[in-house]
Structures are given as C-alpha cells and as structure tokens.
Amino acid sequence: MSALRFEPDDKYNAFLTVCKAPEGGNGKLSGIPVAVKDNISTQGIETTCASKILKGYIPPYDAHAVELVKAAGAAIAGKTNMDEFGMGTSTENSAFGPTLNPRDTGRVPGGSSGGSAAAVASGMVRMALGTDTGGSIRCPASFCGIVGLKPTYGRVSRYGLIAYANSLETIGPMAANVLDVSLLMSVIAGHDRHDATSQDRPYSHTPSADIKGTRIGIPQEYFGAGVDPAVAAVVKKAIGRLEELGAVTVPCSIPSMEYALAAYYVICTSEASSNLARFDGVRYGPAVEIKKSWHAAFQDARREGFGPEVRRRIMLGTFALSSGYYGKYYAKAQIARENIRKDFARLFADVDVLCGPTMPTIAFKLGEKSDPLSMYLSDILTVPVNLAGIPAISVPCGTVQDMPVGLQIMGRPFEDERVIDVAYAYEQGGQP
C-alpha cells in the first residue's frame, strides 16, 4: 500500500472531507484518487450526507462499491459535497454551503452529486462515485461538462448507500471521459449478497465506436415544453452526428411521461419519509436533550438537524402515505410508474437506445430557482429513467452561452454496455 499526497485547490467547495494521504494499492485503478459522494459509507471517514443531523458520523464499514474501488488499488481522495440526503438538483441544499460550477462559479454544478462532478470537471480527481435517484449523476455531469452513468438498477450494489429512496437510487461512475466511466463501472458492478436487489451482472466491456445500424429512438417529449430551444438545437445536432456515424434515428413517443414527474415525487418522498425516520437524535448525529420528553426531543433534533428541503420532502411523503390518501397518491403513482416501464419496453422492442437532452436548460445561476416547483421541473428529462430502472448516460455534446450541454442516451435494462458504446462513438467522432 502507498500513500499519496492529495491537497486539492478546492475553491469550488467540492469536498466536505479530504484524505490528505489516501492509501492506494495494486489493481486496475492503482494509485488513482477517486472521490466519493458523502452519502456513500466509508470506513473511518466522516459521512454526513451534507446534513447537520449526521455531523460527526463515522461509518464502521465501507459501502460495497467503495470496498471494490479500494480493492482495485484506488485511493479514496475524500468525500464530496451534495444536496442534503440527495434531495436537490443544484447542490445548494447542502448544510455546508453550495458547490460552485468550475465552468462558471456564478452557476450551480447540478445535483445532487454536484461535488463529485465539480471535483472531476476541475481536474482535482480523475473519477468519482455519485448516486442517482432522479438524475443526480446525469444532471451535474451535464451542467459541468463531464460524463456520468446511471447504471441499470441492481447492477451496482446499494449496500452502504445511506438510503433516500430505495427503489429508485443507484451508485454510478463519473469521469471526464467515457473510457474512465467504463473503467470505474467495471470495478463496481456485480453481485453483492448484502443487497437483496443486487443482480449477478458483472461489467467487462471495452467501449466500441462502431454504431453502424444502431437504431436510436428520438422521443418527441424530450424536445417539448420546458426545454430550452437552444439546448434542443445542440442535442439535435449531436444526434445528427450519430446518424453520420451510421446510426438510424426513429421518431417515437412516451405518452406516460406526462405523469413521470408527479409519480416520481410522490414515490421518492414517500420512501424518504420512511427511510429518514431513523434519524431521531439517538442513534446517529448530535445527542438530543434527554430532559425533554422523547416526542419533544425527537421534533427538536429533526427540526434543527434537517434542512428545509429535507423537511419538506418528509412532510410530503408522510402525507402521501397517510390514512385516506395512500390510494389517492402513492398507489396511483405506482400505476403511473408501471405505465412508464411499459412505454419504455414498447419502444425498446423497436429501437436499441433512446436519445435526448439530459437537462432542459444549461446550469442556472446560484439562487436563481428559489421556489421548489421550478427546481423540481428541472428533473423532467431524467426521472423517467429511474422509474423504469434502465441505464442512462450523459455525455457532453456542445455548449450554449459557453456552458455545457449533455446528450442523454438511455438503453434497455442491463444493456449499459450499449449506451456506453453510443456515448463513446459520439465522444470519439461527435465533433464534425
């Protein structure tokens, strides 16, 4: 084992914890510093989910993905900033201050894996682990101009990921290029007996730029209301380049996408309401005032420990699951989710991948989206992927106002290799 000096010039607030002499070993990631999002457990390294309620929490074990990264010889560079408990699209919801976008420090880096994206985009690390519940890898990848993969649900173990919405979230790789994303994916994918949702689907793939004959579906909803025309134009040009490289494009439609955002926010807040009940000021985080009644102490701990967005989502989820409203909201959201899955399955019977913008706009300015609804609407193009459990990647495809635009490529379940190939083909030959 060898220790590396790692003292980044972190002027973007990308890191919450820095391992100044991280340990590296031998393997396919030998000596490479890898940043880890702060909701992924790291033995002996503080893990806060960017929340006051977990300040000082040091996990006694590594997440399975971290264990595999270390076994491959990587050095854990540190823990990256994020929206608190993964709840956000801008990394402004961190209890420890926002992360800045290295491409323009007056703009957000995207969220919730904004710290990981900024660490890669600024060159502080070569690759990073993020998590994606409704776009939290792909959004910051798009906003910061890097590559980010949301793997098929179950392909990467969630063991050691501090849960926000179990049925939606996954750990995934982020890097400056497709080859490094593929390399990191080859390390973290595979079965884990500690995760009941984990599938025995290891990843061993060398990306290919040959996409001749690949059928690409272009859903009309990905270029509809709310999508900046300038962003749409850049993405359409990128898709045209894929055609020049031999792909065949097919117009298509996802009718159920109309309900995707509403279904996502009912399901994710409901799961968050359940998952975050464990943070009671007793088992984790700062101790509560024991002179008070348990109910009063519990309320105080959560009011002081959770930020406003986390409290908002817990309340929304608790309401959706409450007596008299479960059928009206949560049950209907699950029906909508199933319809989205069926729509994707129908399209993938005819096409190999789907393409569209990753985000409807470029990175917005810090503080620009002050109301929750406008922030939630930013997720419209990413959440369908999580509801369906399919793989998707964001790869840089151009700029608008000198800010990056991401091309999102979505594939059939467990065909992560194919979406990586299409991304690689564009990366290698995308600029005419």
> What pLDDT does 302 receive?
79
Does the active-site annotation cover 112? yes
> What pLDDT does 2 receive?
60
Structural domain that includes position 8: 1-249+355-432
User: Within a domain: residue 317?
Assistant: no
Q: Cis (ω within 30 of 0) for the bond into 112?
A: yes
Nearest CA to 114 out of 125, 105, 133, 101 is that of 101
User: Within a domain: residue 163?
Assistant: yes
> What pLDDT does 407 receive?
98
Give residue 371's region: left, alpha or beta (phi > 0; psi -120 to 50).
Answer: beta
- Which of 131-135, 245-249, 374-378 shows the lowest mean pLDDT across its residues? 374-378
Contacts of 109 (CB under 8 A, 6+ apart): 12, 14, 90, 91, 99, 100, 101, 102, 115, 117, 118, 121, 140, 143, 144, 363
User: Within a domain: residue 91?
Assistant: yes
User: Within a domain: residue 217?
Assistant: yes
**What's the rounded Cα separation, in Å, for the pair 271 and 213?**
41
The enclosing domain of 395 has a CATH number of 3.90.1300.10
Does the active-site annotation cover 37? yes
Does the active-site annotation cover 30? no
pLDDT in tens, 17-57: 999 877 888 999 998 999 999 999 999 999 999 999 999 99
Are the CB atoms for 365 and 108 separated by under 8 Å?
yes
- Which of 184-193, 202-211, 230-239, 275-284 shows the lowest mean pLDDT across its residues? 275-284
In a 3-state reduction of DSSP, which class is residue 244?
A: helix
* Confidence band of 392 (pLDDT split at 50, 70, 90): very high
**What's the rounded Cα separation, in Å, for the pair 160 and 166?**
12
User: Within a domain: residue 83?
Assistant: yes
Set 90, 113, 136, 182: catalytic member: 136
Set 51, 112, 113, 273: catalytic member: 112
| pTM for the full predicted model | 0.96
User: Within a domain: residue 89?
Assistant: yes
> What pLDDT does 8 receive?
85
Look at the chain and report how many structural domains it folds into: 1
pLDDT in tens, 227-271: 999 999 999 999 999 999 999 999 999 999 999 999 999 999 999
Say yes or no to pLDDT of 288 above 80: no
Radius of gyration of the chain (CA): 20
Are the CB atoms for 406 and 362 separated by under 8 Å?
no
Q: Provide the percentage of residues in the chain whose pLDDT is more than 70.
A: 97
pLDDT in tens, 4-13: 778 888 999 9
Supply the DSSP string of 25-92, one letter for each residue. Answer: -SSTTTT-EEEEETTB-BTTB---TT-GGGTT---SS--HHHHHHHHTT-EEEEEE--SGGG--SSS-
User: Within a domain: residue 350?
Assistant: no
Backbone angles phi, psi at 400, to 5 degrees: -135, 125
**What's the rounded Cα separation, in Å, for the pair 423 and 370?**
33
Nearest CA to 212 out of 242, 241, 170 is that of 242
The helix (H) or strand (E) run that includes residue 118 is helix 114-121
User: Within a domain: residue 380?
Assistant: yes
Average pLDDT, rounded, for the chain: 94
